[in-house]
Structures are given as structure tokens and as C-alpha cells.
Amino acid sequence: MAIEDDAEAPIGTVEEQAADWIVRQDGTALPPAAQADFSAWIAVPEHRREYDRQNAVWQRYRRMATLPVTAQTAPLPPRTSRWRGVRRALRPRAALPAIAAALALALLGFAEDWPTRLRADYATGIGERRSVALPDGSIAILAGGSALAFERSGGARIATLLGGTAQFTVAPDPRHPFRVETAEGSVTALGTVFSVREARGNPEVAVIEHSVAIRTSGGASAVVHEGESTTFTAQAIARPARSDVLAATAWTRGKLIVFDRPLGEVVAIIGGQRRGYWTVRGDAGRLRVNGVYDLDHPLEALAALEKTLDLRSVRISDRFIVISR
């Protein structure tokens, strides 16, 4: 069952609202309409108190960025019951650049990638899963934050994955090949079920049934068989490796099953189910993770990781989280 996209959902708690206003105002003047909304919001005494408390901590982090690395700083204020601040404080000079980057990127995340969405025939919001019937009778399951276009061209059925992840169950039609296009190359179905994930110039392919043929934009080619997965770039294709079909398809059921995967990658996947920005600092990102995590409840999944691996986190609401050892 898909989890609800919170694109238009209001931010619920006062502390989350305060954190949101702090992020939106950091280094940027609010548009007149937003400034009017903020003035009305902060006129409420409870809102003003929460905003002032969180802003004081945030400004303290900003000041620490200008200190020499040998400078001594006082400990952070203790965590209160109303502020989801420091769970177990990171060293300030290590935490600040990560928090600043996290909040800057989170600001960008409030806006949808409209140029991509306008090119898509099908798209999903953050944390949403959607099954769509393509015009040829094939079925595509889209993970959150995905965009897909479909057309018939030159006798072929072409699904262009503009971003995100999709699993395809291809309708048989030998006279009209089914091809998934990415920026780095194409994946042609030689059977029924497979998935493709766009991943920063290194798409990942997992074959659930039968096989697929990959051809990169640079001319490399390979066939990947049932139960195998691989990645490719514009120039080369990695040697296909055996993969666990249950794990490869778990995301379609709202689960993440990982075996010996780096923590940074796992947190990126789990954090991608919510608006905001979660990141891992330092060598903690290389910790190896095994387990089953609930993508429909990302905060609970993160709590399980923190407990199991004895991690620390700095939080400005549940939307902006920096994780460390």
C-alpha cells in the first residue's frame, strides 16, 4: 500500500513549524506573501518562544563555523521535552557544515523538479508508490520521487525513466520491443519482470524474470539474466552478480532489505521517504548494514539503525537530521 505523499500536508507540530521557518529564512528574504504568513504565525506567543529557542541554537552553530578548529566551545544546551534537538551531541565544528549543507539542500527539496515532471507521463511524490498501467498493457510500479514517460517510436515501446526507480512487468509483444531509456543507455526486455533505478549516472538493473539486454550510450552491451543485477555508466557495464529477488523487489512492498550495504546509502534510501534531508557524517557512512527496514515508517527505521549501530544524531525537527558515530 502506498504511503501518502506529504507534498501539500501542513507541518504539524510547533517545533517543526519553527524549524521550517528558520530554514526558509536562512540567508534568503521571504517573498511578501510568505513574510505575511510568518508575521501572523510568530504573533502567537507559543510560536515565538519555540522559534527563539531553536533560532538561538541555529545561530550558535553558525557562529561555530567561524571558529578555528582548535577553539574550545561550551557544550550545547540540554535537550528539552519540546525540542527534538541534540540526541547525543556531535562535536559542533564537525556537525555544523553537515547541518548547513543539509538545510540548504532541504530548502531546494521543498520545490518539486517541475522541468522533469512536465516531461513525464507518470510521476510520484516523496514517499509515494504507484502502480500504473502503460498504454501497451505493461505495468510499471514507481517508487517515490520517480518520473516516467512512455511512447511508441520506430516500432518499439519506449519507457524513459527520467528519475527514480521503476519495476516493469512487460506485456508480451514480440513485434514491438519494450525498452527502458536512461541518460546513460537503454535496457531492453527479453522477458517479463525487471527493475531500473537511476542513481547519479550509474543506473542499477535487477532482473526478476527472464533477462534483459543493456546497451550503453557509449556502445557497450551485455545480457543480464534472471536473478542477477548490475550497474552501468555511459561507457561500461559492471559484471552481473547474483542478487536476492526478494530483496530486489522489497521496495514494492514498502520494505528495504539490505545485505552488507554502506550506512550512507541505506540512510539516503530511508530518508528519501520524507521531505527534508538526512545525511551521515564521516566514517559512519561506511559502516556495513544488514537488516529489514520499514520504508513506510522511516523514523522508526532510523531509530532501529541508531540503536543497532550505536549512532548519534543532531536534529532540527524530524526533517533535518545529521547522523554520526
pLDDT tens by residue, the chain, 325 residues? 443 333 333 455 676 677 778 767 755 678 888 899 999 999 999 999 888 877 776 665 455 434 443 333 333 333 333 333 333 334 444 444 445 444 544 444 444 566 777 789 999 988 899 999 999 999 999 999 899 999 999 999 999 999 999 999 999 999 999 999 999 999 999 989 999 998 778 999 999 999 999 999 999 999 999 999 999 999 999 999 998 888 889 999 999 998 889 999 999 889 888 877 788 888 889 999 999 999 999 999 999 999 999 998 888 778 788 898 8
pLDDT at res. 43: 95
Read off the C-alpha cell for 50. Answer: 519555540
Give residue 28's pLDDT.
63
pLDDT of residue 94: 45
Q: Which domains does the chain have, with CATH numbers?
A: 1-112+254-325 (no CATH), 130-243 (2.60.120.1440)
- Residues in the chain, total: 325
Question: Which pLDDT value is given to residue 111?
Answer: 42
Q: What is the pTM for the complete model shown?
A: 0.64
Q: What is the DSSP letter of 116?
A: H
Distance of CA 91 to the CA centre of its chain: 26
Q: Do 195 and 225 form a contact (C-beta atoms < 8 A)?
A: no
Q: Report in angstroms the alpha-carbon separations of 167 from 6, 154, 283.
A: 23, 23, 33
3-state secondary structure of 52: helix
Residue 173 CA to chain centroid, in angstroms? Answer: 34
Neighbours of 59 (CB within 10 A): 12
What is the pLDDT, as a whole number, of residue 275? 79
Please give the pLDDT value at position 85.
37
Q: Buried (b) or exposed (e) across 71-94, using 16+ Cβ within 10 A?
A: eeeeebeeeeeebbbbeebbebbe
At residue 176, the pLDDT reads: 96
